[in-house]
Structure 1
Amino acid sequence: MEKSKGAGGGRMFTVGLVASWYSSNIGVLLLNKYLLSNYGFRFPVFLTMCHMTACSLLSYVAIAWLKLVPMQTVRSRVQLAKIAALSLVFCSSVVSGNVSLRYLPVSFNQAVGATTPFFTAVFAYLMTVRREAWITYVTLIPVVTGVVIASGGEPSFHLFGFIMCIGATAARALKSVLQGILLSSEGEKLNSMNLLLYMAPIAVVFLLPATLIMENNVVGITIALAREDTRIIWYLLFNSALAYFVNLTNFLVTKHTSALTLQVLGNAKGAVAVVISILIFRNPVSVTGMLGYAITVVGVVLYSEAKKRNK
């Protein structure tokens, strides 16, 4: 009886974790869209810097004070340089993603983001000359075809936003491949929470001059906005904290479920985000666009299956 209670409690904990992961992921995406597009806060680089500042502070609190995971130290200048390179790619991914949300609806943003496996396979081949089984490459055809169809049928298509979204997706894939290459030795491996602890402050160092150059007087404008509407401060604080919880819940879900479960949940999360964003923002969607997105999701599922079978 006690054992079944423990199993039930464990299941409830996992369900709670997944719900938190979904909520934080979709929440930060929708709030980014609201701030950058609907609210009119047109400063994606500054917004990313706020996210990275929160990740720096909250990572330190979670690891050094709350001891959620053991602290891992950087062992050499070479390892630090590798982490800095990852941080730069990570920054470009988040900034490009936030810029794209100024111009594209969340539904289309998610459709393009679903092509991450395609870019991961391309970068893995180019950088490690690691070939997958031919069937794995075949499954990438619907992944790309779906986005091409979705692009043609997207009523709110914006070329610059689309380029930024493709850039964000490619940078996200490049970061995962680089991470596998740069931090592959046993002595250099860092779990995702410790990696974030070191990457986030470096990202702030990169983003600060970029913000000052690209988004002139953003601090003055934000203060002026806050005098008119104090909600902007709360939006930024909540949004930044949520950006950290995306990483925390992703780490915990990875830890408490299998890699396959994570893939399935990840695919479903994109579809849930699309539905919720359409309900909230009422952006126009076409049957062609939704068909394209559905084809992409099917391709991603087939790709995950092919990868699993050929391991």
Structure 2
Amino acid sequence: MGKGGELSDGVVKKIILSYTYVAIWIFLSFTVIVYNKYILDRKMYNWPYPISLTLIHMGFCSSVAYLLVRIFKVVEPVTMSWDLYLKSVVPIGLLYSVSLWLSNSAYIYLSVSFIQMLKALMPVAVYSIGILLKKDVFKSDTMANMIAISIGVAIAAYGEAKFDSWGVILQLGAVAFEATRLVMIQILLTSQGITLNPITSLYYVAPCCMVFLFFPWLFVEYPLLKDTSSFHFDFVVFGTNSSCAFALNLAVFLLVGKTSALTMNVAGVVKDWLLIAFSWSVIKDTVTPINLVGYGLAFLGVGYYNHAKLKALKDKEAQKKAQQQTDEETGRLLEERDGDINGGKKNESQN
């Protein structure tokens, strides 16, 4: 703070940069979601091949990540043995590929606004899977919060004007696989001290996704593409779409690295409301009052969950700091005691 309570230039610059990172992430996330919807929806671009779209994304991301890591050396690759790669990265790649496949498929059947409402179940899925895999501890108050979020999403689903059971199953499956992937990252990689930024993550994971997606694509979508003469590559549409998807990964790294994961969670809520408004006003999707009431309840539950996580993190950091201060004080007292003892022995020897 400067004179008269004014903010210093450094603080103002930091605030402006933080808002800039948030704006970039919201814009790119917003663009990728709407762009995918545009490509896959039968009433828009009418190219309903989610496996093919995901394959294109992974192929583009793999190529760019390889160039940045191996050719231009923008980031250094992580030291990783083949054994660790097969046991850790490959399972994560499998989960990621299925999650992307299912989430992109849901855009064919559901509106953008309703998909965002269903995504509010992500904390519920992460917490539940964390308990099943013994990565998290069951707490009655947290579970009550999860139930409140679930009830809110259920109300939103009840009020959905164009409810499609198959689309809901696909999106819930995407949430379940993505939540499992996030928990497995903690178990398989983070616990071993390995952290991957978006570029190295795509460098290792994207090729796995391509392999896992190739076989279902070969049997499910390739025959359809061949028979319907849809097997042409629009470089402008798919090139810009893939570029946005890759840029979004970099924006995530920028936002979390320069601010915090909590900032990203709060920005995600803003993005969801913007998408719901855009879906209603521009795409002309029907958003009912019951939709909004249900999502509002789920939104409050997610907000409380993030608040509780932040409080737990602050308490943990405070305990760690207090323990460090205690250890330093103990060490200082021991040094003083040893000094007094040595001084006493020295006096005795002189006598």
Tell me the TM-score normalised to structure 1 length. 0.90
Q: Is the 8 A contact 1:75 1:188 kept in 2?
A: no
Please give the alpha-carbon distance, in whole angstroms, between the structure 2 residues aligned to 1:141 and 1:58: 41
Please give the alpha-carbon distance, in whole angstroms, between the structure 2 residues aligned to 1:187 and 1:175: 17
1:14 aligns with 2:18: yes
Give the match for residue 306 of structure 1: 308
Please give the alpha-carbon distance, in whole angstroms, between the structure 1 residues aligned to 2:250 and 2:227: 31
Pick closer, same or farther for the CA change 1:222–1:87 going to 2, 3 Å: farther
Give the match for residue 121 of structure 1: 127
Q: Is the 8 A contact 1:133 1:310 kept in 2?
A: no
Pick closer, same or farther for the CA change 1:87–1:237 going to 2, 3 Å: same
1:63 to 63, 69, 83: 69
1:152 aligns with 2:158: yes
Pick closer, same or farther for the CA change 1:224–1:302 going to 2, 3 Å: closer
1:281 to 283, 288, 293: 283
Moved more, 34-43 or 105-114: 34-43
The superposition leaves residues 235-284 of structure 1 with CA deviations (integer Å, 9 ceiling, x where unpaired) of: 11111111111111011100000232222112222222221222221011
Give the match for residue 260 of structure 1: 262
Deviation of 1:65 (Å): 4.7
Pick closer, same or farther for the CA change 1:278–1:67 going to 2, 3 Å: farther
Deviation of 1:205 (Å): 1.2
Give the match for residue 237 of structure 2: 235
Q: Is the 8 A contact 2:225 2:231 kept in 1?
A: no
Greater RCO (Cα-Cα under 8 Å, separation 6 or more) = 1
Moved more, 283-292 or 133-142: 133-142
1:77 aligns with 2:83: yes
Pick closer, same or farther for the CA change 1:307–1:133 going to 2, 3 Å: farther
Moved more, 145-154 or 301-310: 301-310
Q: Is the 8 A contact 1:153 1:289 kept in 2?
A: yes
Q: Is the 8 A contact 2:22 2:264 kept in 1?
A: no
Name the larger-Rg structure: 2
State how 1:1-311 maps to structure 2 within 5 Å: 4-37=8-41, 38-65=44-71, 67-128=73-134, 130-217=136-223, 220=226, 226=232, 232-311=234-313
SS in 2 for 1:104: coil
Pick closer, same or farther for the CA change 1:291–1:57 going to 2, 3 Å: same
Tell me the TM-score normalised to structure 2 length. 0.81
Letter in 1 for 2:38: Y
Letter in 1 for 2:103: G
Deviation of 1:134 (Å): 2.6
SS in 2 for 1:102: coil
The superposition leaves residues 176-208 of structure 1 with CA deviations (integer Å, 9 ceiling, x where unpaired) of: 001100113445443343122100011111112
Q: Which runs of 5+ in 1 are unaligned?
A: none
Deviation of 1:111 (Å): 0.3
The share of aligned pairs that are identical, in percent, is: 30
Q: How big is the alpha-carbon RMSD for the aligned residues of Structure 1 and Structure 2?
A: 2.3
Moved more, 130-139 or 167-176: 130-139
Please give the alpha-carbon distance, in whole angstroms, between the structure 1 residues aligned to 2:166 and 2:191: 39
SS in 2 for 1:128: coil
Letter in 1 for 2:30: I
Please give the alpha-carbon distance, in whole angstroms, between the structure 1 residues aligned to 2:70 and 2:255: 21
Q: Is the 8 A contact 1:96 1:168 kept in 2?
A: yes
Please give the alpha-carbon distance, in whole angstroms, between the structure 1 residues aligned to 2:122 and 2:297: 14
Deviation of 1:11 (Å): 3.5
Q: Is the 8 A contact 1:74 1:80 kept in 2?
A: no
Question: Which aligned runs of 4 or more in structure 1 are off by greater than 6 angstroms?
Answer: none
